[in-house]
Amino acid sequence: MIPSLNRNPGLGLALTLTGALVPAAAAAHVKWFAPYIVDAAPAPITRTLTDPWFWTGIVVVLAFFIATRLVERAAVGEATLDAMDRATNPLWLRLDDFVRIVVAGFFVAIFSVGGIYLTPDLKTPTEWVSWLQLLIAAGIVSRKTMPFSAAGIIFLWVLALQDYDPFHLLDYLALGVAVAAYLLLESSGREDWRKHRFEVLRWGVAIALMWSSLEKFAYPEWFYPLVAEKPFLTFGIPRDMFIPMAGVAEFTMGFGLLATPLVRRLSAIALFVIFNAAVYPFGRVDLIGHALIMAMIVVIAVDHTRELHFWSWIRRALIGVPIGLTGALVIFVTAYWGLHAVFYGIETQTMAERHAEQGEMATHSYSLEHPHGPQALATMRDGENLAQIAPADLGDTSVGDAYAQSMMGMHEEMMAGLEHEDPDVAFVLGMIPHHQGAIDMARIQLAAGSDPENMELARHIITEQQQEIDAMRAWLQERGIEIPDN
């Protein structure tokens, strides 16, 4: 989800994680670019364990972590940390103010956007939720009211359960709990509690990143449309190499945030560059959605703390790097695959099995708002078929003949509609076949074309023209006018 900052494949692979960080029905996880079919079973973990690119990524990361730990143990490592402390000292001295301003600003931003719970990914029609967000922002101004803001954040997550299932809200839970815990600790008068306030932010963002990274191993098909529509994300790396290694990059950098001071600060700096690089290509909504993660990453990058409060002996040992990473992978993979089975059962089909059965790869549910994916299957809404974002079936027909046939049908129906005596009705009856003709042409383009820009334009035309057809048919129906069959 990045401009090409570096053509070096090693660094490029690290930068790829932005493509995932990135948000359908009550039983679906909605990322900002598509409402995915989440009740599909995750791909067998053996698919990942037998992927050479997964192990290539793991080896590269382990080498980096071990090398960084060796540097950290030497005098140059201490000098590097001291230099980072001096460079970040002005922000370190006001770090609590920074966190409070960003958290309050985030809730003001989502209040302004409206219609969401804790991120633009999670929609809600309930208006009072936005006003609660404004109250949460106001409560952060004073330490006395911070606990109420913390409770409000947790309440919003619980409220989201009425529209979204718990399994795919777990990464949001990690972030929400981390911010809420920070507010509680920061407002506390006990210094032995307050000293952990930045640490809870670190654990929250690390858990969220490691959890969400598993989607690239469990559902690599989810990312196919995004890679096809924004090929610059892969830096020219083949898709099936890019996705698993991007998953490794995201998981391991999340893991790195829990490591020793130099490892975690370097991991945070890399993540900060990645997230910022994603802002312009994906817009302001992406910035709002990632604001809390980005703030936590800044906190980690400027945190002068050298003390390790948990499992310090294994985290400082070189052997702790492979042991810790292996343990984290086992814990998260077991939890992800296991909890999916608990929530959705073990009889559900994988995306590959759906593809084999249906003959087309539908990475996500079709919706007019999220039309991504050239072969997303049509679904039913309010009893009517939506436009099918799928190539036309040309059979033995040439492309030229297919275009000609679509135009002939459009012309006949359009001229018949324009003969209506009421000019308003004539306009609508003429425009419906006109728009249908554009849809037919676009589907032919999807079947026969290859230019990425034209393919994206065709999908856009199908979505937009079908929306307008639906509106015009509704207009006719309200007036009791016979609606022409398409």
Q: Say how far apart CA 273 and CA 87 lie, in whole Å.
A: 17
Give pLDDT tens digits for 385-417.
334 455 665 666 677 777 777 777 677 788 888
Q: What is the residue extent of each domain of the chain?
A: 9-353, 380-478
Q: Where does residue 355 rank: exposed (0-12), middle (13-18), buried (19+ CB within 10 A)?
A: middle
**Distance of CA 469 to CAs 10, 94, 238, 428, Å?**
48, 55, 39, 9
Q: Say how far apart CA 425 and CA 129 lie, in whole Å.
A: 41
Residue scoring higher pLDDT (231 or 454): 454
Residue scoring higher pLDDT (34 or 463): 463
In the prediction, which pLDDT does 394 show? 64
In the prediction, which pLDDT does 472 show? 86
Give pLDDT tens digits for 192-238.
899 999 999 999 999 999 999 998 999 888 777 777 767 777 777 88
User: Which residue, 46, 40, 27, is CA-closest to 347?
Assistant: 40
Is residue 34 within 8 A of residue 370, CB to CB? The reply is: yes
Q: Say how far apart CA 459 and CA 290 lie, in whole Å.
A: 28
Q: Which range is most confident: 32-46, 159-173, 248-262?
A: 248-262
Q: Tell me the whole-structure pTM to 2 decimals.
A: 0.70
Residue 301: CB atoms within 10 Å: 20
Q: Say how far apart CA 80 and CA 291 lie, in whole Å.
A: 28
Least confident interval from 49-63, 244-258, 468-482 = 468-482
Give pLDDT tens digits for 252-301.
999 999 999 999 999 999 999 888 877 777 777 778 888 889 999 999 99
Phi, psi at 381, each rounded to 5°: -135, 125
144 confidence band (pLDDT: 50, 70, 90): very high
Q: Say how far apart CA 370 and CA 340 lie, in whole Å.
A: 24
Q: Which range is most confident: 141-145, 273-277, 363-367?
A: 141-145
Which pair of tokens denotes residue 9? 């494949």
486 confidence band (pLDDT: 50, 70, 90): low
**Distance of CA 348 to CAs 45, 48, 62, 211, 333, Å?**
15, 19, 35, 21, 18
